[in-house]
């Protein structure tokens, strides 16, 4: 089925991204997996190429590409290259919208130029050791004083955690107000009491720096409050659909990539004198995966169109996130099975894809939370 989501400008952008990935990412990604982090130099190169904060207005040095399809192109090309350590998606798809939507003119002038250039790498800190999906359960506090908030707490599982220079921190500014007591504070590298913890050892996404963050009596200026005090929970709920759609984009692109490599493998690998794809069971399994991935592609592309039009609902984003990531788990597992013993060897890309895939149904809201969102939208 011909894909009709993109215009000529997006196709030209894809070619530019693909060349960048082939030159600046693919040759080095194995080393980054070993190192557990992507070098900051890559961010500067991406900024110079125009691949960071593309939606930022021209007045701040951005391209003003306020079209999520450009984000999709970048994500798809990185995913298909197996470049799971490159944290551009978090920077572009998740953090930037908070700055653009809730930031003051002064905040935008202060942060956007460096976000665009790659000099300032961003992160968002929601999860804590004792609070994941339940944002109301966070224990990080921010007590207001004359000209600052005093921030105390700990965050974990933070993508771009080691490299991050600017972190949107979810904190409680009013312990008695429940959801209405949550605010978003922007913490910057170098603030006294702000510490980057260890780079967490994960089963997959090895090149992605995922870290703990610590805040001990950090004096966060009042003008680093993002949006209104007590508005944090509602800001998060408004922005989370795009984050979840971004994860769905990764899921479908990953499915397509592993299916393509597996079809090729099944055409070349022989058993009992013929390609293994010729056996009915294998052929049927490939046919099933091809069909389901095509269905997922159509739905996610529709969600992208709805997001661009401002019509994507939280429930629809949840549908896309849970179904495509669960599909990704099944497809990658079945594709590894078709590789046989070689699928268990790290020299084959399918093995890395298997490890990278597992977290997809967890971060950004677990499958169970996604179903809860959909169920409540149905009136239950």
Q: At what angle do helices 367-377 and 314-339 cross, to 10 degrees?
A: 140
Tell me if residue 243 is catalytic.
yes
Q: What is the 3-state secondary structure (H, E, C) of the chain?
A: CCCCCCCHHHHHHHHHHHHHHHHHHHHHHHHHHHHCCCCHHHHHHHHHHCCCCCCCCHHHCCCCCCCHHHHHHHHHHHHHCCCCCCCHHHHHHHHHHHHHHHCCHHHHHHHHHHHHHCCCCEEEECCECCECCCHHHCCCEEEECCCEEEEEEEEEEEECCCCCCEEEEEEECCCCCHHHHEEEEEEECCCCCEEEEEECCCCCCCCCCEEEEEEEEEEEEHHHECCCCCCHHHHHHHHHHHHHHHHHHHHHHHHHHHHHHHHHHHHHCEECCEEHHHCHHHHHHHHHHHHHHHHHHHHHHHHHHHHHCCCCCHHHHHHHHHHHHHHHHHHHHHHHHHHHHHHHCCCCHHHHHHHHHHHHHCCCCCHHHHHHHHHHHCCC
Which is catalytic among the residues 33, 77, 229, 243? 243
Which residues are part of the catalytic machinery? Answer: 243
């Amino acid at each position: 089925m011909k894909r009709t989501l993109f215009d000529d400008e997006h196709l030209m952008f894809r070619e530019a991204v693909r060349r960048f990935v082939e030159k600046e990412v693919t040759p080095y990604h194995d080393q980054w997996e070993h190192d557990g982090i992507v070098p900051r130099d890559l961010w500067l190169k991406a900024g110079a190429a125009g691949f960071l904060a593309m939606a930022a207005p021209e007045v701040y040095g951005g391209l003003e590409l306020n079209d999520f399809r450009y984000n999709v192109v970048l994500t798809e090309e990185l995913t298909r290259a197996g470049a799971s350590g490159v944290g551009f998606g978090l920077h572009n798809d998740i953090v930037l919208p908070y700055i653009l939507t809730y930031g003051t003119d002064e905040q935008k002038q202060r942060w956007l130029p460096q976000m665009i250039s790659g000099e300032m790498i961003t992160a968002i800190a929601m999860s804590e050791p004792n609070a994941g999906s339940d944002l109301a359960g966070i224990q990080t506090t921010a007590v207001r004083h004359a000209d600052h908030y005093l921030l105390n707490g700990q965050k974990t599982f933070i993508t771009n955690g080691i490299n991050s220079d600017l972190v949107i921190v979810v904190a409680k500014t009013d312990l008695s107000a429940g959801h209405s007591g949550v605010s978003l504070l922007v913490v910057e590298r170098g603030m006294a009491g702000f510490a980057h913890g260890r780079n967490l050892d994960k089963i997959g996404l090895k090149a992605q720096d995922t870290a703990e963050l610590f805040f001990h009596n950090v004096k966060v200026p009042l003008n680093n409050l993002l949006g209104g005090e007590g508005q944090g929970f509602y800001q998060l709920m408004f922005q989370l659909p795009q984050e979840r759609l971004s994860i769905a984009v990764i899921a479908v692109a990953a499915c397509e990539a592993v299916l393509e490599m597996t079809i090729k493998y099944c055409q070349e690998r022989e058993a009992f004198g013929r390609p293994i794809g010729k056996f009915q069971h294998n052929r049927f399994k490939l046919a099933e995966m091809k069909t389901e991935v095509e269905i997922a592609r159509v739905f996610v592309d529709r969600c992208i169109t709805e997001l661009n039009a401002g019509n994507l609902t939280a429930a629809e984003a949840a549908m896309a996130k849970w179904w495509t990531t669960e599909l990704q788990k099944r497809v990658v597992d079945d594709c590894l099975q078709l590789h046989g013993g070689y699928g268990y060897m790290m020299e084959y890309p399918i093995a890395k894809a298997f490890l990278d895939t597992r977290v997809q149904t967890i971060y950004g809201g677990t499958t169970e939370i996604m179903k809860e969102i959909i169920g409540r939208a149905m009136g239950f």
